[in-house]
Chains A and B, each alone.
Chain A
Amino acid sequence: MNEFYLTEDQQDCLQELINIAMGQASDQLARYLNTFVYLKVPSIESVDAKELMQTLSQQKNTMAVVSQGFFGYEGIRGEALLVYQEEDSGRIADLLGYEPDELSQDEQLIDISSILTTTFLNVFARQIDNQMSYNAPKLLPNVKDNLSEHLQQMPFSWDLALKVNINYQVTDYSFNCNMVLLIPETAIINIKNVLDRILAEF
């Protein structure tokens, strides 16, 4: 399980790739919301499967999870989860300025999540000379009861989760969400090789 031990240089390199990807995802979100999105340095941490299961099941106020699969070349694949807390999900409707009868709250969450996930992963992939395709995003029903089941039913066995803690502040509102990337071991090894390749250029 220590496949994902990163050296200081690898960690710095990954953080920078993620910052760039996050910056463009915020830009997309800002355009979509027609407002300015204040971005903090996202913190990243890696957690193993067991740990993640525990963390997520302990978050009693987890309200919604939007899940979307991604596939690149060279065995890079995974599942991106966007995890929202209960107190933040209501604000998203305010944020979007939707009228109650326009789109359901579920659809709004899926919209926002997909913008964040696909922009983030597209930019990330481009930087590591890869290219992603995606499954349709889906909102997990009854997330409180079904999350661990969902995590166990992935079409691949994942060994590590990369948790990116994102905080977005949008003028009068702020909401937090966690982006959790579930990645199988082959993809981890590949990403590490790419990080080393980038670092070797310096």
Chain B
Amino acid sequence: MSPSVLICDDSNMARKQVLRSLPEEWQGNVQTATNGAEALTILRNNEIEILFLDLTMPGIDGIGVLQGIKKLNITCNVFVISADIQPEMQSKVKALGAKEFIRKPVKQDVLLNNLQQHNLL
């Protein structure tokens, strides 16, 4: 069974970059969101096992999504994928419950390694 995946990023290219890094057999079970509000709606109405989350987005940003997940008691493995690579940001998202911080542009081996480390692969 492939896990249910949500990719949230305002950039179409960045979403595709994540999508094509995922194992082939997962591809059919992936949803996408272009902003934080959309992501929270999907998370509320679906069981999502893995969320790949961008931080810098217009409107509700990645931090807002992490806070929303906490507030709504949603269980989900969140991997932040961001260009904002400052160490303080990395520790902030982990404190808010993200499993890992992955820097952009995302590389397939790095992404798969991260999934493996959390026994999701």
On A, residues with C-beta under 8 Å from B are 9, 12-13, 15-16, 19-20, 22-24, 26-27, 30, 36-37, 39-41, 127, 198-199, 202
Contacts and interface: CB of A to CB of B under 8 A. Distances in A.
Contact of B84 (A12, A15, A39, A127): A39
Contacts, number: 52
Contact of A20 (B16, B86, B105): B105
B14 interface: yes
Residue from B16, B82, B86 with most neighbouring chain A CB atoms (10 Å): B86
Interface size class of B (residues with CB under 8 A): 20 to 34
B82 to A, nearest CB: 7
Nearest to A10: B13
Interface in B20-57: 20, 56-57
Interface of B: 10-14, 16-17, 20, 56-58, 82-86, 88-89, 104-105
B41 to A, nearest CB: 21
Given A40-B56, A41-B58, A26 B14 contact: no
A199 B14 CA distance: 11
Given A20-B105, A39-B56, A202-B20, A26 B84 contact: yes
Given A16-B11, A202-B16, 10 more contacts: A12-B12, A15-B11, A16-B13, A20-B83, A20-B104, A23-B84, A26-B86, A27-B86, A41-B58, A198-B13
B83 A13 contact: no
A106 B5 CA distance: 50
Contacts of A26: 84, 86
B20 A23 contact: no
Nearest to B9: A16
A6 to B, nearest CB: 13
Contact of A41 (B17, B20, B56, B89): B56
A41 B10 contact: yes
Contacts of A127: 105
Contacts of A202: 13, 16-17, 20
